[in-house]
Amino acid sequence: MEIEVKFFANFRELVGQKRILVSANTVRELLENLRDGYEGLRKELFVDEENVALKESVNVTVNGRRIEMLDGIDTELRDKDTIAIFPPVAGG
């Protein structure tokens, strides 16, 4: 299964790419892969380095829909889904 993951702002800098392709069945599995594969993302995405609990300020979407509106990190993924990971957004 091929999932496209897009990174924005400082997350893009930490990964060194705009997008990557990964294999995962759920958002949780995808996040575990990112945690284990990209050391720089660990402290930026997760509450602690051991778990996959996202910081409240991190936004994750599956095909444009926030995971909070789906099944959270237990959202199942399908081949060719697109995940976007955004840092906190501030406006004024």
Domain boundaries, given as residue ranges, for the chain: 3-86
pLDDT at 23: 96
pLDDT at 90: 65
| Token representation of residue 76 | 């199942």
Helices (H), the chain: 10-15, 27-37, 39-45
Q: Which CATH architecture has domain 3-86?
A: Roll (3.10)
The pair phi, psi for residue 20, each rounded to 5°, is: -135, 165
pTM as predicted: 0.90
pLDDT at 77: 98
pLDDT at 48: 81
Cα–Cα distance for residue pair 18/51, rounded to 1 Å: 25
Residue type, 53: A
Mode of pairing for the β-strands spanning 65-66 and 82-86: unpaired
pLDDT at 40: 86
The rounded average pLDDT for each run of 10 residues, N- to C-terminus, in the chain (92 residues) is 94 94 96 90 84 88 97 96 89 60
Q: Residue 17: how many CB atoms within 10 A of its CB?
A: 11
